[in-house]
Amino acid sequence: MMQKTDDLEQYVGRFFGNIDLETCRDSSVSRPRVRPLTGFPAETRVEFPRKLREMFPIGTRFIATVKVCQKHKDKKPHGPPYLKAYDIAVVAKSVPDEGLVAKVRSGSISSLAYEYVWITKS
């Protein structure tokens, strides 16, 4: 298990299977994020399908294969390494009957501003 994000640099391009992921809120942005629960530091960013982040309540868990990726600018690493999720499976027992779900905020020009609504079992 890696202790800090800097350790990710040595794994760029490698795949890791059966990684537990979870949707979460991030205080710095309104859109829902996904964080790793196993194998990587929780602050590691995860590229994850938007539809899945919007479809399930915050706290829903997934199992996925992830690839350690690195963006480049002018052929030099740009920003910290991140994970890209593949072969994603929802952990059904983690989906709450009630919870916060991210919805695109009405009037959002970019469709990237979210609000959270509480859903209840009907």
Q: What is the dihedral of CA 56, 59, 63, 66, to 10 degrees?
A: 100
* pLDDT, tens digit, 9 for 90 and up, residues 15-63: 999 999 999 998 888 889 999 999 999 999 999 999 999 889 999 999 9
3-state secondary structure of 116: strand
Once rounded to an integer, what is the mean pLDDT over residues 113-117?
82
Alpha helices in the chain (DSSP H): 50-55
User: Does 93 score more than 80 pLDDT?
Assistant: yes
Would you place residue 108 in the very low, low, confident or very high pLDDT band (cuts 50, 70, 90)?
confident
Residue in 47, 86, 53 with CA at minimum distance from that of residue 70: 47
Q: Check residue 58 and give its pLDDT.
A: 93
What's the pTM value of the predicted model, to 2 decimals?
A: 0.81
Classify residue 27 as left (phi > 0), alpha (psi -120 to 50) or beta. Answer: alpha
